[in-house]
Amino acid sequence: MPSPPHPFRIGLGHDTHRLGPGDGLLLGGVRIPHDRSAIGHSDADVLLHAITDAILGAAALGDIGEMFPDTLEANRGRNSGEMLQAAAARLAAAGWALGNLDCVIFAQRPKILPHRERIRASIAGLLGIDVEAVGLKAKTGEGVGPIGEENAISAECVALVVRRA
């Protein structure tokens, strides 16, 4: 006999984008001034992509590439906030509510701390959750590897989802 479903689940999301010369980064829906830009098929918001994968994964609903394949021209330059909201709607339709997020941005530069509260507020607004449910921190690459050499930016996120009553 199957056991009753668990009242909560966790999901892990990860994304990486190459960096090239540019005029800023989009992180969590917030434009951050910088001399580099992320390169991607959509708007390349690495943080929102990781969050999207985390919430989809928590409910076993696939991943961002399945929902928004980069093989479709319609997804070129697509707004990552809209993708996140579509994933959140899928989560709700499956009977789950988002509990909280804990996210990490991996970037040598720019410093994230001066932008952290705006990014948290943006994510909370996109998802319709309290800003206190959005954890965000940043780590550098310590000058090592693609992150440290400023050739890439990555983000990871853990999402807790709770079964709706």
Query: What pLDDT shows up at residue 78?
Result: 86
Phi and psi, residue 36, nearest 5°? -125, 160
CATH fold label, 8-163: 60s Ribosomal Protein L30; Chain: A; (3.30.1330)
* DSSP-derived secondary structure for 61-125: ---HHHHS-TTSGGGTT--HHHHHHHHHHHHHHTTEEEEEEEEEEE-SSS-SGGGHHHHHHHHHH
Q: Is the peptide bond preceding residue 110 cis, with omega within 30 degrees of 0?
A: yes
pLDDT tens-place values along the chain, 165 residues long: 666 678 999 999 999 999 999 999 999 999 999 999 999 989 999 999 999 999 999 999 999 999 988 888 887 878 999 999 999 999 999 999 999 999 999 999 999 999 999 999 999 999 999 999 999 999 999 999 999 999 999 999 999 999 987
> Which residue, 33, 36, 66, 63, is CA-closest to 50?
63
Query: What pLDDT shows up at residue 138?
Result: 97
**Cβ contact 133:55 at 8 Å:** no
Domain ranges of the chain: 8-163
The whole model's pTM is what? Answer: 0.95
